A and B are shown apart, each in its own frame.
Chain A
């Protein structure tokens, strides 16, 4: 009995947390997918501004870009998928920049 119980406690620790999925960190306004900048276009735009881009994926209706800022900070940035404007730049959970946070 106690053997089974202890086994149950341990397996709970091991098996339960297999979660991933949408992050919900930031959401961009609803846009028409046809109007989106391509990955290559956004990369070119950011690189011309001094960024380096490692990769990007779609998250919360934005382009979520993993890369390095012109200042050399490794960040995760949420960009408007149509204009390519930065909306939220985060670094390991801390916010470095948030668009419109001063209006």
Chain B
């Protein structure tokens, strides 16, 4: 019974949607935050943060599988990786919409577009769109091997997200704490890749 629940795709959807419940409730409450901070601004941070978290988790899964090939939990997550990626996209979309509403004028939006912390956010969002659109089963089938090539653009999006976070927040700490596990795992993965490449010529 519990096992069936875990295997049902609604379960992972529910888990991924969980953070959006307090966000929506906050937004609908119509109140303002501490010191009269508008709700649209209040929610910018959590929506962006959860988008980055899901992005990081989705990206961590391949190196995690290399480290823990027998872990059922990692395998369970890998089977649902596209859902995690879609969650990252939807929180980023919500983040972008809140930003547009919060800014309230095209003039203000364009006025800061060239700030390093801003255009990097837009870049990540622009990359997310084709990645999300091609996340359906049909698109995976149609694109074949090109699907993976396309999805690799996520690395650029992740780097842009990291820069966006650091500069928009004017603070290195939280962004680095989030990205450090991924960076560590990717380093491990690159190291493994190089080792394998060095070993192979000797075998042949």
Contacts and interface: CB of A to CB of B under 8 A. Distances in A.
Interface of A: 2-3, 5-7, 9-10, 12-14, 16-17, 19, 23, 25, 54-57, 66, 68, 71-74, 90-94
Interface of B is mostly: helix
Of the four ranges (under 10, 10 to 19, 20 to 34, 35 or more), the interface on chain B belongs to 35 or more
A10 B73 CA distance: 11
Given A93-B116, A93-B117, A74 B181 contact: no
A74 B67 CA distance: 46
Given A55-B32, A93-B115, A94-B115, 13 more contacts: A6-B64, A6-B68, A17-B173, A17-B174, A57-B34, A57-B35, A66-B37, A71-B111, A74-B112, A92-B117, A92-B168, A93-B169, A94-B167
CB-CB nearest 8 A-B residue pairs: A57-B35, A2-B68, A55-B36, A93-B170, A93-B167, A92-B117, A74-B108, A92-B115
Given A73-B112, A74-B111, A93 B168 contact: yes
B195 interface: no
B103 to A, nearest CB: 6
